Amino acid sequence: MRPTDIVTATVEVAVDPATAFAIFTEEIGRWWRPGPINWNNSERATGIRIEPGVGGRWLEVYDDATGEGFECGRIVVWEPGARLVFLYRDAGHTIDDTEVEIRFEAIDGGTRVTLEHRGWDKVLADIVDKKRALKRWGWVSILGWFSEWAFWGSPRRVRGGSEDRSQAAEY
């Protein structure tokens, strides 16, 4: 596999890795942006959630009462504060069982969150380049939503000293 075969997106957030992981997984229903290009079935989707632990599902919720919907992924690695890996699914099933890994790495001032979408050798040759290009753009956008929520919206967000508070008050 060539490095260009892996779709990679990265953001940095001003929270520790354990908090970044919790915001990503437990608050996904609050930071994921609804819309026709962000859902497998935008007419039915009412939310999104991740079930914790190996074997858990990344679900696009269609029924609020039961919490059931379309399985976007199945968790194969669950390491809170470190990484999350799932087998990906999409509505067209054209890129099913490709693999997405999200790593949470401590850096000065917070966490670097790196997403890698790989396993493109499982995708039909005539569509792989288009699908990979769509995911390059898509994952960057999605991590951007996460980063914005981690900074502005999450009740778990961590702010620094008085300098950070005064800058936040300017907005």
pLDDT, tens digit (0-9, with 9 covering 90-100), for 139-150 = 999 999 999 999
- Note the pTM of the prediction, 2 decimals: 0.86
Nearest to 149 by CA among 43, 49, 20: 20
- Phi and psi, residue 54, nearest 5°: -60, 135
CATH of the domain at 116: 3.30.530.20
Distance from the first to the final alpha carbon of the chain: 45
Residue 23 predicted with pLDDT over 90 = yes
Instruction: Say what the pLDDT of residue 61 is.
Output: 94
What distance in Å separates the CA atoms of residue 58 and residue 108, rounded to the nearest whole number? Answer: 30
Listed in sequence order, the residues at least 6 apart from 133 whose beta carbon sits closer than 8 Å to its beta carbon are none
Residue 11 predicted with pLDDT over 50 = yes
What distance in Å separates the CA atoms of residue 158 and residue 19, rounded to the nearest whole number? Answer: 9
Summarize pLDDT for 47-91 with one digit per residue, the tens. 999 999 999 999 999 998 998 999 999 999 999 999 999 999 987
Query: Average pLDDT in the 94-113 region?
Result: 95
* Cα-based distances in Å from 85 to 14, 77, 130, 134: 22, 5, 23, 20
Instruction: Say what the pLDDT of residue 102 is.
Output: 98
What's the total number of domains in the chain? 1
Summarize pLDDT for 103-112 with one digit per residue, the tens. 999 999 999 9
Residue 164 predicted with pLDDT over 80 = no
Determine the structural domain holding residue 49 and report its residue range.
3-169
Residue 42 predicted with pLDDT over 60 = yes
Instruction: Say what the pLDDT of residue 166 is.
Output: 36
Beta-ladder partners of 75:
86
